[in-house]
Structure formats: structure tokens, C-alpha cells
């Protein structure tokens, strides 16, 4: 069973004005579709075929560039679409609120630290909020399409929030103004999804 591009569950223009429809359309239908196709090609006929993406990334041979880049790209974007889902966004509450306040002091201090990780990732990559077994939170960032699930990349745990800081994620609307795009991300962030992922992963 090959991997399939996940449906967004909302329209390409649903995040306007924070993330524009053209960026969403190209990002989902071209970039994410490309990672999906290339991942399927990379695992076809190998012993990775039929495994879950979490299993593939968690046991990744990081010297396998095709699976590393495209498996990461497939997983990272699937997570990204879900955490910017504009339906039923909710607000920071419950166990995740408690954990964020215990780790970072406040929601605002968490947002500052996460924004800094996203802004200072040189070149293309992602910033993440991860949860370790037991519930401990950590912010980190990864290069390219690397992911905290991958072994030995210095950023562990299960990602529950992620922001794509590749230029293709924001350049049409924000050009070089990555900090403005990071602010926009928080305007569309789906806290209910983060809370759900926290509860499942902790």
C-alpha cells in the first residue's frame, strides 16, 4: 500500500490572510505530492514497503538520502497541515497548557522560544515542539526535511507542533520576512491538535 497525499480537510484559501491560497496550493499539491511520490519510489520493492511512516523514520538509515529527505518531507508536511487546520482551533488549555507553563514559564515565553528556533534555523528546515515519554517538552529545530523521530539527529521525542521554514512555505507572501510568517503561524495554530498529539505521545 503506497503512501498517499493526505487531504487538507480545508480549502487552500482558508488560512488567508495569514497564509495565502497560492502558497498553500503549490505547497500541498506540488511540494508535498512530490515528497509522497519520491518516497513511494524510494521504498518500492525494499523491506520498507508496507511499514508505517513512523516506523520508517524511527528506524531510519540516515545514509539513505532518498528515504531521509522524502520520508521526512512526507511526514513533516502531514503534521504541518494538521496543526494549521483552521477548523475548531481551540486555545491552549488542559495538560498541554500545564506542561508549557511548567517548562517555559508561560504561553508567551514558549512562543518566543519557538519563534527564535524557527527564525534562527539557517537555510531550509523546521522548528519543533516535541514531547518525551513522561511528558517533558523540548523545542528544537532540524535542517532540510529531517525530523525528531529520526535517530541520532540531536532532537528527540515525538513532534507535536512543527513549522516549515523553507522559503517555499512563505516566500510568495512574505518574501524574506520569515519573522512575519512565524507570527502568522501562531495566528492559525490549532491548539486542539497540539493538545491531542501531546496526550497521545506523552
Q: With respect to Mn ion, which residue has the nearer C-beta, 164 or 193?
A: 164
Q: With respect to Mn ion, which residue has the nearer C-beta, 169 or 189?
A: 169
Q: What sign for the dihedral angle of Cα 91, 95, 96, 99?
A: positive
Reduced to 3 states (helix: H, G, I; strand: E, B; else coil), residue 143 is strand
Reduced to 3 states (helix: H, G, I; strand: E, B; else coil), residue 138 is strand
Binding of Mn ion by 74 (CB under 5 A): no
Binding of Mn ion by 81 (CB under 5 A): no
Q: Name the residue with cell 518525551.
A: 132
**How far, in Å, CA of 118 to CA of 199, rounded?**
24
The CB-of-25 to Mn ion minimum distance in angstroms stands at 13
**Choices 38-46, 58-66, 131-139, 162-170 (CB under 5 A): range interacting with Mn ion:** 162-170
Measured from each CB, the residue nearest to Mn ion is 164
Reduced to 3 states (helix: H, G, I; strand: E, B; else coil), residue 83 is helix
**How far, in Å, CA of 146 to CA of 124, rounded?**
10
Binding of Mn ion by 164 (CB under 5 A): yes
Q: With respect to Mn ion, which residue has the nearer C-beta, 22 or 133?
A: 22
Which of 74, 104, 166, 181 lies at the binding interface for Mn ion (CB under 5 A)? 166
CB atoms within 10 A of CB 102: 11
Q: With respect to Mn ion, which residue has the nearer C-beta, 12 or 166?
A: 166
Residues in binding contact with Mn ion, number by CB under 5 A: 3
Q: Which residue ranges make up the site for Mn ion (CB under 5 A)?
A: 164, 166, 169
Amino acid at each position: 500500500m503506497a503512501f498517499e497525499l493526505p487531504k487538507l480537510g480545508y480549502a487552500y484559501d482558508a488560512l488567508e490572510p495569514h497564509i495565502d491560497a497560492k502558497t498553500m496550493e503549490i505547497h500541498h499539491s506540488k511540494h508535498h505530492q512530490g515528497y509522497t511520490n519520491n518516497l513511494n519510489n524510494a521504498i518500492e520493492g525494499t523491506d520498507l514497503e508496507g511499514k508505517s511512516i513512523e516506523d520508517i523514520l524511527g528506524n531510519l538509515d540516515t545514509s539513505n538520502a532518498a528515504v531521509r529527505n522524502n520520508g521526512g518531507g512526507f511526514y513533516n508536511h502531514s503534521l504541518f497541515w494538521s496543526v494549521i487546520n483552521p477548523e475548531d482551533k481551540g486555545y491552549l488549555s488542559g495538560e498541554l497548557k500545564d506542561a508549557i507553563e511548567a517548562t517555559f514559564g508561560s504561553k508567551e515565553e514558549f512562543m518566543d522560544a519557538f519563534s527564535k528556533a524557527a527564525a534562527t534555523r539557517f537555510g531550509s528546515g523546521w522548528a519543533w515542539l516535541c514531547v518525551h515519554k513522561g511528558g517533558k517538552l523540548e523545542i528544537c529545530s532540524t535542517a532540510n526535511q529531517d525530523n525528531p523521530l529520526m535517530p541520532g539527529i540531536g532532537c528527540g521525542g515525538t513532534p507535536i507542533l512543527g513549522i516549515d521554514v523553507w522559503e517555499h512555505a512563505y516566500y510568495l507572501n512574505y518574501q524574506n520576512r520569515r519573522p512575519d510568517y512565524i507570527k502568522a503561524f501562531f495566528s492559525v495554530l490549532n491548539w486542539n491538535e497540539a493538545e491531542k498529539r501531546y496526550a497521545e505521545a506523552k
